[in-house]
Structure 1
Amino acid sequence: MKYITTRGWFLLLSASFLLCSHVVRVYTQKSEGALTVVENTDDKGGEGEVVAEDEEVVTVEDEDLEVVQPTEEWQTLKPGQTVPAGSHVRLNLQTGEREVRLGEEKLKYWTQEHRETDESKSSFNFDELKRAMKKMKEELNLESLASRFRPLEELKKDMAELDLLMETDVQILRRLLDQMNSTNTTTEQRLSILLELEYLVHQVDNAQTLCSMGGLPLILDGLNSSDFRLQESSAFVLGSALSTNPVVQVKAVENGALQTLLTTLATAESVSVKKKVLFALASLLRHFPFAQRHFVTHGGLQILSELFKADGGGVLRTRIVTMLYDMISEKELISQAGLDSVQDPSHEERVHQYSQVSLQGELLEKGWCSMVPQLLQSAEHDYREKALRALLAMAPVCLDQYRSNAALAGSLHSLRLQYQEIIQSEMILGEESGYFTELVELIDALQVKMQ
């Protein structure tokens, strides 16, 4: 058994004392390094020498500390010196001095070029940095710098004025209607106003606000204008305001919009005006049986019939047929909904109002059973689709005329062959033919009814 000599006890106690002192110093400086005791194997330390190593050192921000740039060799740190973060620092327990060298990670990439660069760097202190900053402030001309910016009070005043210019939609509508009602407003200005209104009335609330401000009469006056541009723009604004907006639909009927639209449709010469008027008329009649009944009783189908016959391109014909199909489908859907056991309280009233719209009887009387098939002669597939759907919807009252119409039977037969060929070609090419398959199904359904 080996015993520890008196000298050994003395060395052990000394090491413990120095180690505790270093721990207190490290924590006092708020260092986050991990302190370990290792056996020094360097030539400087000697065999068996005990040293304390600090794996990571956080330097203290002291104005008078000199920064020591570590190298790959151990250097002794003097009082008042500090090292960069990440340096490898140890406490020599034999001499009581701190020593520093590069951290392990940096030491791997240490080269002669790094040595020369770091040796050329000089130390600095915070007094010099303070003096340099003070000099920079003195060199700055603060008066000239302030002259580049506006005073805060002036900026606040400008911001307040900008806030006054922020208009709500209601304020914009009021301003536009006032300009529209002014006798000094030119035609070009009115066109610009109508363009802005059309954008605004797409919102349901804005369209209703337009009515409450008395804007509908101004729009209807534009339909009576001699300038076709004002007629077209006014009809566009009216149609946009009426779309899916029951409140505006009621207000429009109360202001005589239906009669104004029918008159404009009968007298306008421009096709573009007629297209926009048909858009406004369809928006007014949609899901509004009261307006549909007045449309039929006030000769609306007769006006559409004359327009259909005069249209050679098919654009107006398609719009007319689509509008008629929508009106027939609405009434049919209401009738089907009446078979449900659960109904809303207003259902009976809607059924009653739709029952007063004698649309299909008027279609038969006004010759629509022979006019709609003419749309099948169009080269546009979309036009043909609209015609087929309308013919199916009109079949309950037009079936006898369909059967006696040889041109209709021939058109259906040729169209079916044409679409069958298209479907086969697309199947060979691996393309989808769902749209043309649907057209063939419509033709088949109509042919079955005609048998």
Structure 2
Amino acid sequence: MRPNFTLFTLLLLHCWHIDRIHGQKSEGALTVVEKSKGEGADEEEATVGDEDEGDLEVVQPTELWQTLKPGQAVPAGSHVRLNLQTGEREVRLGEEQLKYWRQEHREEEETLSSFSPEELKRAMKKIKEDSNAAHNQASVESRFRPLEELKEDMAQLHLLVETDFQIMKRLLEQLNSSNTTTEQRVSVLQELEYLVHQVDNAQTLCSMGGLQLILGGLNSSDFRVQENSAFVLGSALSSNPVVQVKAVEDGALQTLLTALATAQPLHVRKKVLFAMASLLRHFPFAQHHFLSRGGLQVLSELFREDGGGIVRTRIVTMLYDMISEKELISQKGLEAFMDSAHEERVRQYSKVSLQGALLDEGWCLLVPQLLDSTEHDYREKALRALLAMAPVCLQEYRSHSSLLGSLLSLQDQYQDLIQSEMILGEENSYFLEIVELIEALHVKMK
């Protein structure tokens, strides 16, 4: 009897509790739809009532379950469950919400995956280059001041930027002044030599009357002034036909021959020879007058006096260049390419009887003396000149008692050098070229 009473009492209390729940309004205003999912949890689909939405903290669900704190509301369509293990409510996106959420993420992934790895690399590289360019531009701008600002500062300091014309004018005024010391003259000439390497500056020097001042320096009693004057003249004449013509008109040829015939130190003679070679190169008119005024006699005296070989080598090189120029300009088969200027050059070269003069002045026997040098370069220059002079000097070569022996000795020497280099695994075509020159001259002498 007592157990039945107890059971009746429990049922009564349970019904009273249910009635109380239905009679009260939930604080969250949740409409619950029960579903059976998962293990150890009750899942619900919940909506938030419009009347209380403004007073509640609404949680933004995701695809994962997250704990729902007391007093928090969830959007309509969300899934809410009671975790029976922890006793806490949890919420995530509902089925419809998950479907749209997954669709949006899929579209984003497809958009990202539409770019190939190469395109992404190029895009990243472009971003980096643009960033570096902007940084470099800012760095350059920070290091340099605007031109207008610099001009203003220079004007305030009374500074003047000189042109080459103004510099040469100032230098020539110093060179022409009687108050200029020898040291200052040397310094002025060195500055002028640097400037006249430019073709326009060299021609400007002539138009300003500077060529006469330079030629006057060759007659100076100071060897340093002579040397630097010859250096300026040679640099101005190099590959500059306008200056070459002006120099001949101003008497440069006779001045240079006089300087070569005068006893001078080696360093002065080298610079004067440089100026002479620059004046005669590709200028048949000057070459003709050089021969008619005894130029070869002056050079032969220098050749005999030189014991070291450097002056001899420069003289032989100058003669070889003059012979080669005439042969090149007079080659047959060029008639189709000849214009009036070329015809005039051929006519002028025809008046230069250089090889006949070389034979008359004894150069056929002078040049072989350079073969006695121990310098490979000197020997090479001598061999090339001997081959160029062979058309008029061949008989002299054959009558030269020691020339053939010297050639055979040199051939053996250079063959040994080539063999030694081959053993060491080295290749030097320079020695092979010398052997070929010796063999070519030997063949002509047979």
Please say whether Structure 1 and Structure 2 have the same fold, judged by a TM-score greater than 0.5: yes
Q: Assess, with a 3 A threshold, how the Cα gap between structure 1 residues 342 and 323 changes in structure 2: closer, same or farther.
A: same
Equivalences for residues 5-404 of structure 1 within 5 A: 11=47, 38-39=62-63, 41-45=65-69, 158-161=153-156, 164-336=159-331, 339-404=334-399
Distance 1:326 1:13 in 2: 110
Distance 1:445 1:155 in 2: 66
How many residues end up aligned between the 2 structures? Answer: 332
**Cα shift readout 1:62-120 (whole Å, capped 9, x = no counterpart):** xxxxxxxxxxxxxxxxxxxxxxxxxxxxxx9xxxxxxxxxxxxxxxxxxxxxxxxxxxx
Distance 2:241 2:150 in 1: 47
1:161 shift after superposition: 4.5
1:264 shift after superposition: 0.4
Q: Assess, with a 3 A threshold, how the Cα gap between structure 1 residues 283 and 45 changes in structure 2: closer, same or farther.
A: farther
Q: Give the secondary-structure state (helix, strand or coil) at the position aligned to 2:308.
A: coil
Please report the RMSD computed on the Cα atoms of aligned residues, expressed in angstroms. 2.9
1:41 shift after superposition: 2.7
Distance 1:300 1:326 in 2: 15
Q: Assess, with a 3 A threshold, how the Cα gap between structure 1 residues 275 and 13 changes in structure 2: closer, same or farther.
A: farther
Q: Counterpart amino acid of 1:353?
A: Q
Q: Give the secondary-structure state (helix, strand or coil) at the position aligned to 1:43.
A: strand
Q: Give the secondary-structure state (helix, strand or coil) at the position aligned to 2:255.
A: helix
1:11 shift after superposition: 1.4
Distance 1:279 1:155 in 2: 43
Q: Counterpart amino acid of 2:367?
A: V
Distance 1:314 1:379 in 2: 10
Distance 2:420 2:220 in 1: 52
1:344 shift after superposition: 3.0
Distance 1:389 1:316 in 2: 17
Distance 1:162 1:294 in 2: 54
1:164 shift after superposition: 4.2
Q: Counterpart amino acid of 1:223?
A: L
Distance 1:202 1:431 in 2: 39
Q: Give the secondary-structure state (helix, strand or coil) at the position aligned to 1:176.
A: helix
Q: Give the secondary-structure state (helix, strand or coil) at the position aligned to 1:406.
A: coil
1:442 to 427, 437, 441: 437
Q: Assess, with a 3 A threshold, how the Cα gap between structure 1 residues 162 and 288 changes in structure 2: closer, same or farther.
A: farther
1:433 shift after superposition: 2.2
1:339 shift after superposition: 3.6
Distance 1:332 1:155 in 2: 57
TM-score under structure 2 length normalisation: 0.69
1:7 shift after superposition: 5.7
Q: For residue 428 of structure 1, what is the aligned residue in structure 2?
A: 423
1:160 shift after superposition: 1.2
**Cα shift readout 1:235-263 (whole Å, capped 9, x = no counterpart):** 00000000001111011001100000000
Distance 1:307 1:156 in 2: 56
Q: Counterpart amino acid of 1:11?
A: T
Q: Give the secondary-structure state (helix, strand or coil) at the position aligned to 2:67.
A: coil
Contact 1:308 1:317 in 2 (8 A): yes
1:348 shift after superposition: 1.0
Distance 2:232 2:285 in 1: 22
Q: Give the secondary-structure state (helix, strand or coil) at the position aligned to 2:229.
A: helix
Distance 1:416 1:207 in 2: 45
Q: Which runs of 5+ in 1 are unaligned?
A: 23-35, 53-91, 93-153
Distance 1:387 1:191 in 2: 35
1:309 shift after superposition: 0.5
Distance 2:408 2:422 in 1: 21
Q: Counterpart amino acid of 2:439?
A: D
Q: Assess, with a 3 A threshold, how the Cα gap between structure 1 residues 13 and 399 changes in structure 2: closer, same or farther.
A: farther
Q: Assess, with a 3 A threshold, how the Cα gap between structure 1 residues 172 and 337 changes in structure 2: closer, same or farther.
A: farther
Q: For residue 419 of structure 1, what is the aligned residue in structure 2?
A: 414
Q: For residue 11 of structure 2, what is the aligned residue in structure 1?
A: none
**Cα shift readout 1:182-239 (whole Å, capped 9, x = no counterpart):** 1111111000000100000001111011000000000001000010010000000000
Q: Give the secondary-structure state (helix, strand or coil) at the position aligned to 1:357.
A: coil
Q: Assess, with a 3 A threshold, how the Cα gap between structure 1 residues 185 and 447 changes in structure 2: closer, same or farther.
A: same
TM-score under structure 1 length normalisation: 0.69
Distance 1:14 1:213 in 2: 102
Q: Give the secondary-structure state (helix, strand or coil) at the position aligned to 1:275.
A: helix
1:165 shift after superposition: 1.6
